[in-house]
């Protein structure tokens, strides 16, 4: 590696090429299908995984867990990186880092972690259903974190609302002003193409068999479009003119400030409008930027290497029982084999095994830059929220754990599997799949699992069986909410009916309550006890 490779100029140049984003949506809005379509347009795959036909639906390459394949939903997050050489790419192709997120509301905590690692978000909305609860929650997280949002109205090949109805709903419900870059030609269910509002031309799409290939595009002038598309073209032109009169044209400063959102209409299943989304990401989404450490010092992208671990995942490769820690590079240049410092322990950490991950496929990463996501293999000491760095020291703010709402005791069915059971619990705890709680009364043989949603328990039991060959029994507990407490308060709380105190694996003491009325009673009767609220999944 030449000295130029380590220079700040090279890092800054690589940063400008990169776009790192996540897709947020309600379940079944087409998020994984869109992920496949983006990879297809970037030529990372030759055929989309979500193919509907006589052979049925294949699972998408980003969904690697057996539960995901069986149910057709995403319950884990994966990171895909690909080069995209488009019309706004400049002299070199852009590098796209797409961090796929769980679609189900039960996995909000995992999605929140992902949103700490991206610079922009694509808010995917079903054309028929409009804004749905999970989308609203995740949008609020984006707003809180200052993440700019590109809005995509998906499934325009099916019946749905009108463009203006969807625009009004978004404006009124979340205060985000959509600024459509294109207007669909043809009502929802009759998707013919897009009116490019900046050029006034018609982008005509043609279907491919089952949507398995990139949809051909034809650029048609306005006069020809009016002749061939008739009333559908006239309606699109009128809508575009109305939007212009209302001032709903793209403004980059307002977009980055979170006030407006470029809007695109697509059909991920047919691969319509996908190239336009990629071009919008390259043209408008921000490049990676520096971050502020817990000491208030700013770490710029050209400073020495630093990174944040946002996800830990095991079981992705059944032939190798390894564990990957996904880190988002914040600053500097990463070189495989470099020895960095783990901020939480102060100990050195060797990066010999560094990989890029595409679904279950892996490739060795030798060099990476800010915005890139790298998987560190067998990173047993790392947990979500940890910081890695090269001097000078930096430590980024931790990622908070969400307030759990569901609690179950877990035990192994046969005593001879107890060692595997303990090892599995420790692994899933380190990944953040669930929060693991213990106390002296229950002991290690029956830890309590705390989760945001009940499907997290299904993941635990399924992975226990698949990865460790351990059969388990879940026993739901009669608790409904948790509060953070301290040693001084724990003894008094443990004597109360409907209350149990546990120690979480990170050392935090949690008091579990049977219901909100029991909590309110104890707060009233014992006002001096420490009972602090945790971060809610809807915050």
pLDDT 10s digits, 23-46:
999 888 988 889 889 888 877 665
E strand or H helix at 154: strand 149-154
Whether residue 129 contacts residue 135, with contact meaning beta carbons closer than 8 Å, is answered with no
Give the span between the Cα atoms of 373 and 357, in whole angstroms: 9
3-state secondary structure of 142: helix
Non-local (6+) Cβ contacts of 257 within 8 A are: 148
Torsion of Cα atoms, 101 then 102 then 106 then 112, to 10°: -10
pLDDT of residue 180: 98
End-to-end Cα spacing for the chain = 45
pLDDT of residue 76: 47
CATH code 3.40.50.300 region(s) in the chain: 7-284
Compute the C-alpha angle 279/108/62, nearest 5°.
50
pLDDT of residue 48: 56
pLDDT of residue 391: 96
Give the span between the Cα atoms of 310 and 52, in whole angstroms: 34
Bridge partners, residue 79, by sequence: 99
pLDDT of residue 232: 97
| Whole-structure pTM value | 0.82
- The per-residue DSSP string of 51-97 comes to --STT-PPPPTT--SHHHHHHT---S-EEEEEEE--TT-TTS-EEEE
Give the span between the Cα atoms of 469 and 172, in whole angstroms: 51
pLDDT of residue 327: 95
* E-only strand ranges, 351-426: 354-358, 361-364, 367-368, 373-377, 387-389, 406-412
pLDDT of residue 45: 62
- Residue range 7-284 in CATH 3.40.50.300: yes
pLDDT of residue 209: 83
pLDDT of residue 466: 85
Give the span between the Cα atoms of 198 and 196, in whole angstroms: 6
pLDDT of residue 107: 63
Task: Give the tens place of pLDDT for each residue, 301-312.
Answer: 999 999 999 988
pLDDT of residue 453: 83
For the chain, which ranges sit under pLDDT 70? Answer: 1-7, 44-78, 102-108, 315-322, 358-360, 536-539
**Is 60 known to sit in a ligand binding site?**
no
* Count of other CB atoms within 10 angstroms of residue 404: 26
Whether residue 123 contacts residue 25, with contact meaning beta carbons closer than 8 Å, is answered with yes
**Is 101 known to sit in a ligand binding site?**
yes
pLDDT of residue 66: 53
Give the span between the Cα atoms of 315 and 467, in whole angstroms: 7
**Is 503 known to sit in a ligand binding site?**
no
CATH code 3.30.70.3280 region(s) in the chain: 406-525
Q: CATH: 3.40.120.10, 1.10.8.640, 2.40.30.10, 1.10.1240.10. Which one for 291-389?
A: 2.40.30.10
Bridge partners, residue 291, by sequence: 299
CATH code, residues 406-525:
3.30.70.3280
pLDDT of residue 171: 97
**Is 103 known to sit in a ligand binding site?**
yes
Give the span between the Cα atoms of 43 and 159, in whole angstroms: 30
pLDDT of residue 59: 45
Residues in the chain: 539
Task: State phi, psi for 316 to the nearest 5 degrees.
Answer: -75, -25
3-state helix, strand, coil in the chain (%, to 5): 30, 30, 40
Task: State phi, psi for 117 to the nearest 5 degrees.
Answer: -110, 5
Give the span between the Cα atoms of 372 and 356, in whole angstroms: 9
Whether residue 255 contacts residue 151, with contact meaning beta carbons closer than 8 Å, is answered with no
Give CB contacts under 8 A, 24+ apart, made by 190-196: 190/232, 191/156, 191/157, 191/265, 191/267, 191/270, 191/272, 192/229, 192/232, 193/217, 193/272, 194/265, 194/273, 194/276, 195/225, 195/233, 195/236, 195/237, 195/240
**Is 102 known to sit in a ligand binding site?**
yes
């Amino acid at each position: 590696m030449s000295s130029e490779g380590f220079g700040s100029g090279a890092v800054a140049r690589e940063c400008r090429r990169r776009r790192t984003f996540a897709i947020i949506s309600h379940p079944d809005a087409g998020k994984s299908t869109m992920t496949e379509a983006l990879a297809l347009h970037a030529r990372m795959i030759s055929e989309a995984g979500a193919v509907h036909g006589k052979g049925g639906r294949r699972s998408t390459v980003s969904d690697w867990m057996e539960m995901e394949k069986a149910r057709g939903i995403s319950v884990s997050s994966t990171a895909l990186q690909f080069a995209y050489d488009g019309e706004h790419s400049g002299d070199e192709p852009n590098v796209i880092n797409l961090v796929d997120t769980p679609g189900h509301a039960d996995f909000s905590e995992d999605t929140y972690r992902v949103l700490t690692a991206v610079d922009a978000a694509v808010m995917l909305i079903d054309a028929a259903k409009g804004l749905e609860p999970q989308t609203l929650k995740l949008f609020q997280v984006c707003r809180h974190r200052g993440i700019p949002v590109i809005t995509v109205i998906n499934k325009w090949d099916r019946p749905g609302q009108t463009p203006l109805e969807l625009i009004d709903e978004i404006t009124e419900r979340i205060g985000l002003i959509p600024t459509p870059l294109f207007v669909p030609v043809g009502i929802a269910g009759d998707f013919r193409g897009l009116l490019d509002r900046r050029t006034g031309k018609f982008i005509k799409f043609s279907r491919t068999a089952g949507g398995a290939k990139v949809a051909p595009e034809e650029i048609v002038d306005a006069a020809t479009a009016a002749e061939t598309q008739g009333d559908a073209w006239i309606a699109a032109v009128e809508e575009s003119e109305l939007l212009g009169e209302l001032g709903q044209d793209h403004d980059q400063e307002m977009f980055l400030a979170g006030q407006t959102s470029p809007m695109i209409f697509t059909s991920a299943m047919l691969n319509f409008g996908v190239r336009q989304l990629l071009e919008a990401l390259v043209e408008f989404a921000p490049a990676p930027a520096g971050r502020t450490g817990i000491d208030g010092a700013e770490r710029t992208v050209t400073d020495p290497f630093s990174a944040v671990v946002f996800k830990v995942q095991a079981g992705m490769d059944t032939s190798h029982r390894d564990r990957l820690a996904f880190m988002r590079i914040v600053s500097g240049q990463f070189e495989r084999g470099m020895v960095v410092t783990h901020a939480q322990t102060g100990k050195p950490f060797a990066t010999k095994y560094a990989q890029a991950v595409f679904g279950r496929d892996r490739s060795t990463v030798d060099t990476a830059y800010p915005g890139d996501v790298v998987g560190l293999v067998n990173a047993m000491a790392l947990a979500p929220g940890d910081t890695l760095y090269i001097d000078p020291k930096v430590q980024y703010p931790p990622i908070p754990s969400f307030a759990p709402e569901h609690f179950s005791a877990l035990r192994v069915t046969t005593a001879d599997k107890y060692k595997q059971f303990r090892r599995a619990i420790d692994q899933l705890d380190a990944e953040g799949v669930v929060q693991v709680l213990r106390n002296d009364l229950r002991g290690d043989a029956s830890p309590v699992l705390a989760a945001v949603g009940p499907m997290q328990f299904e993941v635990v039991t399924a992975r226990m069986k698949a990865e460790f060959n351990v059969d388990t029994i879940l026993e739901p507990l009669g608790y409904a909410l948790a509060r953070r407490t301290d040693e001084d308060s724990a003894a008094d709380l443990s004597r109360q009916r409907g209350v149990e105190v546990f120690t979480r694996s990170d050392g935090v003491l949690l008091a579990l309550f049977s219901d909100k009325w029991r909590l309110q009673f104890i707060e009233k009767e014992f006002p001096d006890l420490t009972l602090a609220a945790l971060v809610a999944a809807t915050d």
